[in-house]
Structure 1
Amino acid sequence: MNRKLLRLAGLPVAVMLALTVAACGDDDDSSTDSADGTETTSVSGDLAGAGSSAQGSAMEAWIAGFAEVAPDASVTYDPIGSGGGREQFTSGGVQFAGSDAYLDDEEIAAAEETCGPNGFIEFPGYISPIAVAYNLPGVEGLKLTPSVMARIFDGKITMWNDPALVELNDGIDLPSTNITPVHRSDESGTTENFVDYLSKAAPADWPHEVSGDWPVQGGEAAAQTQGVAAALRGGEGTIGYLDASQAGDLGVAAVQVGDEFVEYSPEAAAAVVDAAEVVPGRSEYSFAVDLPRDTTEAGVYPVVLVSYQLACANYDSQEQADLVKAFLGYVISEEGQQAAAENAGSAPISDELRGRAQGAIDAITAS
């Protein structure tokens, strides 16, 4: 089988999240219990991944936690963005990927060619609110409807004291300054999720097709999640979208859902994912979902990023297959999801979703 896996050294080390732990303990002891009750696995070897920068903080936590239970393994992750991660995965450049959007038809064909006849696995492993963040000193508690948000990012509302914003935010002194929308310059799953929300929640005000490439001219562009955060902090009057874990001290808008304005939270984000339906007509171990972005259900935050873990269902060696299975198993475990929640503010996946994902992971084999 033509796996076309590239050498690990080919990844850009400067931007790679890496954690390598030397082997320790008695080689004859294949499985012990750690202090917290987690079984230590005997897997070993090198595992390379790439993709979603929104998953960056969670991946740091997963790599660190996995090192504690698998000290003979080394896992690296290059947060180059979802588009780059999918490209590297489907071409065989990495063994796994993180992506804020599920594979499209062309990418599925490429993944099946690279992974072989058993195809690939694909499941949500990271759920996080997308914060609509702004830099407007002295302004707290900003409220936005889907319509107003769409018109801001489409360049139709250009001033902070626009009547539509003033009406929504009674009692808040909005300045008579320009709005500078900030968007991703690279192909991004965060962009695709945000545009998907705008297209479904405000279809009359957002005429653009859903894509990982930002469709509107103007504003300010920045690469990757960290770049958007830096651009927002670097200029007053900016507003942008980014993984909520990176919002930090920026102002974050509450979004209208039904008759109320909902602030983001992991719990509100998880609620909309649990209400989603699996995309039909895909492979057996693809658990891609379409989110109900236009929901009016109370307490639900629909501006959500669902990020997937991608892997092959078959690897060239048993060592590699076992390592991928062990790492992804840790990612979806209660311990792994809690580590991501603490480090990245993400929403732990539900038990039902964990069961589906574990079924896909269990299907991984070696040729």
Structure 2
Amino acid sequence: MKKLIFTAVVAIIGLSFISCESSGKLSGSGATFPAPFYNVVFKKYTEATGNAVTYGGIGSGGGIRSLKDKTVDFGATDVFLSDDELKEMGADVVHIPTAMGAVVLSYNLPEVKDLKLTAGLISEIYRGVITNWNDPKIKEVNPDLNLPDKAITPVYRSDGSGTTAVFSEYMSKVDSIWKSEIGSGKSLSFKVGIAAKGNPGVAGNISETEGSIGYIGSEYALALNIPSALLQNSSGNFIVANDKSISASADIDMPDDTRAVITNSSNPDAYPISTFTWIILYKEQNYNNRTEEQAKSLVSLLNYIIGKDGQDIAVKTHYAPLSSKALEKTNAIIKSITFNGNAIKS
């Protein structure tokens, strides 16, 4: 399975620089966070139906812009559109959650395993307050680890990123200094560290730079065999990101439009930086000379992703499947998609 994920990561790096209009019956672009899942599930969908799907991992911000410009059939984002952003899209846009995942803090310290980090430590590292791995504050949380006398190199995203938005939303929620000095959003300014494009770029920099640390989707850490820190959650427990700890974060009352934040869950077993990831599309599919056949193919794709086959692939590529509550809301949204005002039957 790691070979499967690594192949998907390589595919993402290639697709990230290819126009989404290059080929295929359906095209999409956006978040790199779910791209290992999407590259596999889209391939399996094409094999099952004959309907080709291309995807460009260009970041959540790019996916939103591409949908707004109507150059793709769907966008993909790790952070839902705000009310103001929805108004700017020109027509009704719906959110389809496809899986859940985690943003992890991965690091390159060859002799260190099971590193524990708190939000306060992460904040001080990214603000340049803590600059060495043997800092007493890190040692206090990790008394049993032999931490090296080595400079810390933070790595962050250079592009508009849903991963950055999820990470910084969590940090702003739990650390007041981070909130005032760095803030939250898809694109942020960091005073220290090195910038890299996409999850593959950040993961690549971490794997090549000893002493580095960066925030990436957990599946990238697994694909490149990069260790990730156990993070302290709201209950004070240090939690590793896996399907169970991610799913524990999603024990919520899901809103009808599925725009839900699940970071910093009160569940004692929850990984604190968990998130849904969404496909976004226009609710009315008759625009820009689109055909009803295209609309039917898109609805068929969405049903495949949230169905058993699609959700099984999500688990195999190290994401967490949607909860029954999320699936109920998502099915209702898919049924609301129209062509010429009429419901679409795929």
- CA displacement at 1:234 relative to structure 2: 1.1
- Aligned match of 2:133: 160
Distance 1:277 1:350, change over 3 A: closer
2:158 corresponds to: 185
CA distance in 2, matches of 1:276, 1:180: 39
- The 8 Å contact of residues 21 and 71 in structure 2, kept in 1 or not, is answered as no
Match of 2:305 in 1: 331
Larger fraction in strand: 1
Match of 2:247 among 270, 285, 291: 270
CA contact (8 A) 2:16 2:58 kept: no
Rate the CA distance shift 1:287–1:159 in 2: closer, same or farther, 3 A: same
**Residue type matched to 1:92 in 2?**
K
Match of 1:31 in 2: none
Deviation at 1:340, TM superposition (A): 2.0
SS of residue in 2 equivalent to 1:241? strand
Q: 1:255 aligns with which of 202, 208, 231?
A: 231
Of residues 100, 103, 109, the one that matches 2:81 is 103
The alignment-based identity, stated in percent, is 29
1:183-237 Cα offsets, whole Å, 9 max, x none, are 0000100000000111112224542321111232220100000000110011100
Contact 1:136–1:237 (CA<8 Å) still a contact in 2?
A: yes
| Structure 1: 5+ residue stretches without partners | 1-11, 21-44, 279-284
Q: Which moved more, 1:310-319 or 1:197-206?
A: 197-206
Deviating more after overlay: 232-241 vs 249-258: 249-258
- Residues 96-154 of structure 1: CA deviation (Å, up to 9, x unaligned): 1110111134431232x2x4xxx121132121111110001101110011111111122
Partner of 2:30: 51
**Shift in alpha-carbon separation, 1:358–1:312, aligned structure 2, 3 A:** same
| 1:271 and 1:300 in contact (8 A); partners too | yes
2:266 is equivalent to residue 290 of structure 1: no
The answer on whether the counterparts of 2:257 and 2:329 sit within 8 Å (CA) in structure 1 is no
Q: Is the Cα–Cα contact under 8 Å of residues 254 and 326 in structure 2 kept in the other structure?
A: no
Q: Which amino acid aligns with 2:101?
A: S
**Given the two structures, how large is their TM-score scaled by the length of structure 1?**
0.82
One-letter amino acid of the structure 2 residue matched with residue 168 of structure 1: V
Please give the alpha-carbon distance, in whole angstroms, between the structure 1 residues aligned to 2:108 and 2:263: 29
Alpha-carbon distance in structure 2 between the residues aligned to 1:259 and 1:77: 39
Is the Cα contact below 8 Å between 2:30 and 2:59 reproduced in 1?
Answer: yes
Matches within 5 A, 1:72-87: 73-87=51-65
Q: Do the aligned partners of 1:17 and 1:60 also contact (CA within 8 Å) in 2?
A: no
Larger radius of gyration: 1
Distance 1:16 1:347 in 2: 29
CA RMSD of aligned residues (A): 2.1
- Letter of the 1:298 partner, please give it: P
CA contact 1:125–1:349 (8 Å) conserved in 2: yes
Classify the secondary structure of the residue corresponding to 1:170. coil
Determine the structure 1 residue equivalent to 2:321. 348
Tell me the TM-score normalised to structure 2 length: 0.87
Equivalent residue for 2:277?
307
> Structure 1 residues 212 and 260 mapped into 2: Cα distance closer, same or farther (>3 Å)?
same
The ranges of structure 1 where at least 4 consecutive aligned residues each deviate by more than 6 angstroms after the TM superposition are 16-20
Asked if 2 retains the 8 angstrom alpha-carbon contact of 1:19 and 1:63, the reply is no
Does 1:66 find its partner at 2:45?
yes
**Contact kept in structure 1, 2:41 and 2:305, CA below 8 Å:** yes
SS state of the match for residue 189, structure 2? Answer: coil
- In structure 2, C-alpha distance between the alignment counterparts of 1:288 and 1:328, rounded to whole Å: 17
Aligned match of 1:322: 296
Distance 1:53 1:164, change over 3 A: same
Contact 2:45 2:301 in 1 (8 A): yes
Correspondence 1:208-287 to 2 at 5 A: 208-248=182-222, 249-257=225-233, 258-275=235-252, 278=255, 286-287=257-258
Equivalent residues of 1:272, 1:301 under 8 A apart? yes
- Larger mean CA deviation between 350-359 and 208-217 belongs to 208-217
Q: Are 2:100 and 1:92 aligned? A: no
Give the letter for the 2:206 counterpart.
Answer: L
Q: Indicate the larger mover: 201-210 or 143-152.
A: 201-210
Residue 305 of structure 1, CA deviation? 3.2
Partners of 1:231 and 1:66 lie apart in 2 by 32
Q: Secondary structure at the match of 2:167?
A: helix
CA contact (8 A) 1:150 1:206 kept: no
User: How many angstroms does 1:306 deviate by?
Assistant: 2.1
Q: Contact 2:20–2:72 at 8 Å: present in 1 too?
A: no
Q: Is the 8 A contact 2:28 2:54 kept in 1?
A: yes
**SS in structure 1 at match of 2:250:** helix
The alpha-carbon deviation at position 329 of structure 1 amounts to 0.8
For residues 70-90 of structure 1, give each alpha carbon's deviation from its aligned partner in whole angstroms, at most 9, with x where no partner exists.
12x111111111000000001
Bigger proportion of residues as helix:
2
Aligned-partner SS, 2:331 = helix
Count of aligned pairs: 318
